[in-house]
Amino acid sequence: MKSRSNGQNPSSQRILDTAEQLAQRRGFNGFSYADIAEQLAVTKASVHYHFPSKADLGVRLIARYHETFAGALAKIDATVDDEADKLRRYIALYDEVIAHDRMCLCGMFAAEYSTLPEPMQVALRAFFDANEVWLASVLESGRQSGRVIVRESARARARMLVDVLEGAMLVARAYGDLARFRSAAEFALAELGVGVRA
């Protein structure tokens, strides 16, 4: 039945790990099959066996990133009640990315959007949509519980929150300055009446 890798076995995972790191640091147009093969000490042909085309690889990269992110959000929902805490935990997800000297995979791909195969563009928007939905839900809940200040549309504020975090990562990376990202994140939280620490 399985005459071809489905991207779930160990080899495929290692390839995705390596490609993800490269994509987050150099962009989708900034790395090649040769780069992946070199880091894993295999041949380009071997990588092509698991991911026939770069478009396939790109779609799987976004899908896995999305799944991992969604899992992290589900864990927050399962372990945290306070909406302010949820927002802090959300920002910590971004913090960990830039702390590892990476850009958000989807923020990176957003820059290259017009050069991407259409399936990747669709998957990319799905990622941002999911972030927006989750954040809007937390903000709405926070407004009702009185733990978060949201004067305007929760949905619009959710979008703006994603925007500032992506932008802060983008610019901070040019300065190699993690503190710069944290400062912007702190401001974004403060506007919601949420302190950096509980």
Partner interacting with residue 184 (select from its own copies, DNA, none; CB below 5-8 Å by kind):
its own copies
State which of positions 57-116 bind its own copies (CB under 8 A): 103, 107-108, 110-115
Check the CA dihedral 13-18-24-26 and report its sign. negative
Tell whether residue 13 is a contact of DNA (CB under 7 A): no
Cα 176 from Cα 99, distance rounded (Å): 10
Segment near DNA (CB under 7 A); pick from 1-9, 65-73, 90-98, 185-193 = 1-9
Six-digit token string for 141: 């809940």
Tell whether residue 128 is a contact of its own copies (CB under 8 A): yes
Contact 172, 98 (CB under 8 A): yes
Q: What are the phi and psi torsion angles at 153 (to 5°)?
A: -60, 125
Contact 152, 140 (CB under 8 A): no
Can you tell me which of 5, 27, 55, 119 binds its own copies, judged by CB under 8 A?
A: 27
State which of positions 145-164 bind its own copies (CB under 8 A): 152, 156-157, 159-160, 162-164
Cα of first residue to Cα of last residue in the chain, in angstroms, is: 52
Give start and end residues of each alpha helix (H) in 29-117: 33-40, 44-50, 54-79, 83-99, 105-111
Select 122 or 133, whichever has its Cβ closest to DNA: 122
Segment near DNA (CB under 7 A); pick from 42-50, 75-83, 147-155, 170-178 = 42-50
CB of 115 to DNA, least distance (A): 11
* Binding region for DNA (CB under 7 A): 2, 4-5, 9, 11, 31-35, 41-46, 48-50, 52-55
